[in-house]
Amino acid sequence: MNILVAQSGGPTPVINATLYGVVMEALVSSGINKIYGSINGMEGILNNELIDLNGLASELNAIKHQPGAFLSGSRYQLTEEELQTIVTRLDELNVDVLFYIGGNGSAVTITKIYEICKNRKLDIQCIFIPKTIDNDIEGTDHTPGFISAAISLDRILTGIEIDFQSFRSRNQIEIVEVMGGNSGWLMAAGAARKRDFPVLAYLSEKEWEMEKILEDVEKAIKSNQSIILLVPDHMNIHHLKSEINQNNPRNKYNGGISYKIANEIQQHIAIKTNITIPNSIYTCSVGAQLDLEEAELIGKEAITIALAGETGKMVGMERVNYTPYEIKIKSVPLSHIYGKERGLPSHFWDDANQLPTLAFREYMQPFIDLKSSFNLIDVKDLLQLK
């Protein structure tokens, strides 16, 4: 059996752990001969940029904890003709199993390849392995990469709170732009922990009015406190009038909504407004231990599923116990996830208070210690003791 593995889309902190799991399990599995790696996603197959992974065990062990995609990802939009060419190329290489590590777009791509193989009666198995910090893929409890991104965001927000403590004499707003695509999973994760300062969070699934946001801000600062404003990079604000400077380097890119919101706030409210846009911090931070372990696990289990003869499947995780936390691996038909995005369920979000529900906090508890808090020492407390 010959296999080919590729990575696609944006990286996550643990995407290479999944690649490691696939290759290392393949190396110890009888019946698997050649292990191809495709450079730049499916483009590597089109451009004949393939690498022999059989002899790279030591190198893969070294990159297991390394962020960024070792094989390089790709966001190239394939044409129908190119999809047909890829299948032809796989057939010419005698590839028996194609493993594709990616997000929702990659799920669509491998589903199309699977259908072409089936229509052409080619015995090429297609296995999809999910990864995304957005946590928006159907058929799995969560996706590798989400835990690490959520922890990174939590650390950023904790650091901002510490900075707020340093300027108790000056109230301010910190707008933090949160990635997450069209779903609010990462947003909810950032708002899940009880914090020392008010947090206003807005989901990307909803359409917002700027007037509502300004009302929320004015209400929050009445308590004479600094506040944290969490906004999604895909935020939809109805009739937003503010324009950001054309020379702003983010004007032509996805995101940048925080600049517009800051402009609106400064026009209506006299308060210092800062902007934090972590962007690639979410995707290239150090992988959390549990995230790394699960990313490697689904890579290994993808081999198990393939050796069992399955095809047209995704490797998913199902939570079988909350306390203690326990998951099991399952295979999910690609037809169940094709073209779908998993938004944040309604029972995970309290619309009235714009905060995560207890159910979401329980969901997140194995990933982030929501009860812990940075032990801030306030000089005012020390002065009172003297």
User: Tens-of-pLDDT digits for all 386 residues of the chain?
Assistant: 999 999 999 899 999 999 999 999 999 999 899 999 999 999 999 999 999 999 888 888 889 999 899 999 898 899 999 999 999 999 999 999 999 999 999 999 999 999 999 999 999 999 999 999 999 999 999 999 999 999 999 999 999 998 888 877 678 999 999 999 889 999 999 999 888 888 999 999 898 999 999 999 999 888 768 999 999 988 888 877 555 444 444 444 445 789 989 999 988 988 889 999 998 889 988 899 999 999 999 999 999 999 999 999 999 999 999 999 999 999 999 999 999 999 999 999 999 989 999 999 999 999 987 765 555 556 566 556 54
Both tokens of 14, joined, read 């643990």
User: In the β-sheet with 172-178, what is the strand arrangement from edge to edge?
Assistant: 199-201, 227-232, 172-178, 272-276
Where, residue-wise, is CATH 3.40.50.460 in the chain?
Answer: 149-282+346-364
Where, residue-wise, is CATH 3.40.50.450 in the chain?
Answer: 3-145+287-336
Query: Strand 50-52 and strand 35-38: pairing?
Result: antiparallel
State the Cα–Cα distance between residues 86 and 92, nearest whole angstrom. Answer: 10
Whether omega before 333 lies within 30 degrees of 0, making that bond cis, reads no
- Name, in order, each residue with C-beta under 8 angstroms of 80's C-beta and a sequence gap of 6 or more: none
Label each residue of 304-372 as H, E or C: HHHHCCCCCEEEEEEEEECCCCEEEEEEEEHHHCCCCCCCCCHHHEECCCCEECHHHHHHHCCCCCCCC
Task: Specify the amino acid at residue 368.
Answer: I
Class of the CATH-defined domain 149-282+346-364: alpha beta
User: In the β-sheet with 326-333, what is the strand arrangement from edge to edge?
Assistant: 50-52, 35-38, 3-7, 97-102, 125-130, 313-321, 326-333
DSSP string, 68-96: S-TT--------HHHHHHHHHHHHHTT--
Asked if 68 and 284 count as a contact pair (C-beta separation under 8 A), the reply is yes
Q: What is the pTM of this model?
A: 0.92
Could you please state the CATH topology (level 3) that the domain comprising 3-145+287-336 is classified under: Rossmann fold (3.40.50)
